[in-house]
Chain A
Amino acid sequence: MLLPQLDGLDVLTVEGISQGGELHPVQKLLVETDGTQCGFCTPGFVMAMYAFAQSTEPRNDAHIHEALAGNLCRCTGYRAIVDACKKIPLPDFDPTSGASERGEDALRYASGEHLFFSPQSVDELLKLRAAHPDAIILAGGTDLGIRASKEREHFPKVIFTGKALGLGEVRDDKNALVIGAAATYTDALPLIDKHFPAFGALIRRIGSRQIRNLGTFAGNLVNASPIGDTPPCLIALGAEVMLASTRGERTLPAEQFIIGYRKTALAKDEVVVAIRIPYLAKGARFETYKISKRFDQDISATIGAFYANGDEIRIAYGGMADRAKRAANVETLLQVGTPSLIKIEVAMAKDFTPLSDHRASKTYRLRAASGLVQRFLFEAGGAQSTRIEAL
């Protein structure tokens, strides 16, 4: 994270959770279960456990694994760490009551030649954007942060969306779910789960809790990476992107918003203010399947998103082209019946010429992507299938 993102927040580190020489219960548990070996990963695990200790989630494997997915141990110590988590007592206070407050004044932070703006309203955000078209827009920073910490890149001008009032809202709007541009994955998850359970299951595989607490839907979309996980889903769901500038507002279908490799239709003075996902009509189906080497914290080799409502079919993929893109030939094929795998593969090869890279070969990507279509058809036909999420 960039330093000014922390404005108005408390920072708690592993050094700060034990009081007067007395270990915090999660620290004590980790010592007692022999949950440390080389110890290098331990502070991270302690803090993930500390966060878990603040929640009322059941202390079972599923929840513990999700809570710990953002931390790696290389000394084969997970069993002991999970054992420690099982013994974490439930909190004796309401963990939702301590929400942090937003600052009153717009923050303008300068360090040397670096400028960081933290607008407090959407209006102010639009004005700043108009005045500084060369600034980088920072939402969660889960992508940008790597450029700063790993590539040691400097960003002369940054406009942070996280403090703009109303921009972080997630709300029901008649026939659609509206996700504000500053809303994180975690913010939107409850309503996503309610309306689009398959999308919710996918979101739980994006990064880890730590990442989902920072990363935003809008950030993922504007990033326009060909291997982003939400763009294919948003395209298949027929989502719209709401854009604004001091000149006014406009709305674009997600499909038209991404125009190329890491390229969007955003004008220089424009920002995304919200994403609008129409609710599924009665009888409509939406599914998405992610293929990656690891369950959590991994980038997709390919991801398929499938929407079907009668003969209205939208199929979009990530990892298959220079951007998240619809599979037009496959869609046409599905409109006329239930094709064989070979026919799907032929259509898929017309739609995409994927790259071979360290995540997957071209052949693997084409075959896996075709297999996902078949999976969608099987499931639509009522076949019982095992979801990776259930394993």
Chain B
Amino acid sequence: MSRQLGRIRGGVHQPVKHDSARGHVTGSALYIDDVPMPPAGLEAALVLSPYAHARIKKIDFTKALAAPGVIAVIEASDIPGKNDIGPIRPNEPLLPEALAEYEGQPIAAVAAVTLDQARAAAKLVKVVYEVLPAVLTIEEALKNESFVSPVQTMARGDLKAAFGESKHRLAGEFRAGGQDHFYLEGQIALATPGDSGDIHVLSSTQHPTEVQHGVAHLLGIPFSAVTAEVRRMGGGFGGKESQATLIAGIAAVLAMKTKRPVKLRLSRDDDMRATGKRHPFLIRYDVGFDEAGRILALDLLLASNGGNVADHSPAVMTRALCHSDNAYWLPTCASAAIRAKPTRFRTRRFAVTAARRA
């Protein structure tokens, strides 16, 4: 046992220094990109969709494969197991088989000897798309009833009657914008195949179990054959909860295909384009209240832009819904009512995911 661990004796009410502080200030703390590359290790780069919604007609790897240093390329059909990394709901592909569903969605990936070679080769992959109309706003999605998961409703009492009894009424609409998490360490994973069909994945993830399960599904191997390790993270804020599986999954599929360690580290631009953000919300409210300002009736619509797949949208929406009454008791009398009707919409502008309030 290390000296530090040996010293642990409770600690409640005791100021305790961050156990990595010394490593942080001396630069000795290892983040994944600081870990020495294992022998024969490869670097990977992504091919991202330039369109919000498009049919993938053809992916031509000829030029990329001929480029210096390139060892392998992958597309959806290279995934040996199940092409699904949905954290809550199924059918959320690692790489889409036929349909690009948001601008920046990874379509294919390249592994090469050096990072520059991988990124240069990714630019040589020629994807032929048939551009399709895209739903880009919450309003359009509302109109088309384009939802990524079922509508959730929370209701109590008779709303119509409560509005009838309300002397005053206010209605309106506002928005809360989405945003990037801006973890300072970008998404990264290093996947190293073992000697028995197993794999070790070093991932900057907030959810190692999800990485383990995701990689196992993708490779068609048991959970026990996947070791997901997190040494430390340079920030996450919700952005590395489900999204880290996308990165670890691509590294793992490339590693299994090449039988070599593969590191996938995104540039900041690719990271921002390819991975999920905070949900943008559209909120419509109609509130009835009495002379004293007591709320008697509330009709609330919470609509979030859920991106192309559910990801964490159902849970984020449940949270938004359950917190929407804030510190107020609704109703203050038996005749008041609330009706919140949150819905998530399938839009195709970008991916979204969990986000910590900070």
Contacts and interface: CB of A to CB of B under 8 A. Distances in A.
Contact of A15 (B28, B185, B236): B28
Interface string B251-279: 00000000000000001110000000000
**Residue among B24, B29, B185 with most chain A CB within 10 A:** B24
A36 B184 contact: no
Interface stretch (A71-79, A286-294, A343-351): A71-79
Contacts of A41: 184, 234
A31 B17 contact: yes
B18 interface: yes
Given A36-B20, A38-B233, A14 B184 contact: no
Contacts of A27: 25-26
Contacts of B268: 150
Contact of A18 (B18, B26, B31, B235): B26
Contacts of B25: 14, 23, 27, 30-31, 36, 42-43, 46
A387 interface: no
Interface in B74-119: 116, 119
B22 interface: yes
A155 interface: no
A23 B22 contact: yes
A37 B18 contact: yes
Contact of B182 (A31, A34, A74, A150): A74
Contact of A152 (B28, B120, B183, B232): B120
A40 B267 contact: no
B267 A75 contact: no
Nearest to A43: B27
Given A15-B26, A150-B267, A152-B116, A36 B237 contact: no
Interface string B225-237: 0000000111111
Nearest to A16: B27
A23 B183 contact: no
B353 to A, nearest CB: 16
A13 interface: yes
B26 A39 contact: no
Interface residues of B, number: 30
Contacts of B237: 74
B21 interface: yes
Interface in B231-251: 232-237
Interface of A: 13-15, 18, 23, 27, 30-32, 34, 36-43, 46, 72-76, 150, 152
Interface of B: 17-18, 20-29, 31, 116, 119-120, 182-185, 232-237, 267-269, 358
Given A41-B234, A73-B184, 11 more contacts: A23-B25, A31-B22, A32-B17, A34-B17, A36-B24, A38-B185, A39-B18, A40-B234, A42-B24, A74-B183, A150-B267
12 contacts: A14-B25, A15-B26, A30-B25, A31-B18, A31-B22, A36-B25, A38-B233, A39-B23, A39-B232, A40-B185, A42-B24, A46-B25
